[in-house]
Amino acid sequence: MKKEYDFRNAKRGQVVIPKGKTRITIYIDNDVLEKFRSRADSAGFGYQTMINEALREYLNQPQESLLNESTLRKVVREELKRAAHH
């Protein structure tokens, strides 16, 4: 082992970068996370895998089907309810 090491050009990060996956930090509502954890436990695999699959399924939907009148009405109702409580 060297007596001294030169870290002037060193970079922080993982020593080995996993292929096909990226570690991120994300904020998710507690109730949403608990539902994913609960469902993942029942299904017998990790909640992060389940979240990844849900995101993939969402992204694989045709763009025009992502926001329809029913979804828009639901979002508006939720936001109006939330605004009324503040």
pLDDT per residue over 52-84, tens digit each?
Answer: 999 999 899 887 766 788 888 999 999 999 999
**Does the residue 58 lie in any domain?**
yes
Type of residue found at 4: E
Tell me: pLDDT of 15 over 90. Answer: no
**Does the residue 37 lie in any domain?**
yes
Domain containing 65: what range? Answer: 30-84
**Does the residue 57 lie in any domain?**
yes
* Burial class, 6, CB count within 10 angstroms (exposed 0-12 / middle 13-18 / buried 19+): exposed
**Does the residue 68 lie in any domain?**
yes
Residues 6 or more apart from 58 whose CB is under 8 A from it? 66
| Count of structural domains within the chain | 1
**Does the residue 13 lie in any domain?**
no
**Does the residue 14 lie in any domain?**
no
The pLDDT assigned to 63 comes to: 76
Is 62 strand, coil or helix? coil
**Residues 11-34, mean pLDDT to the nearest whole number:** 86
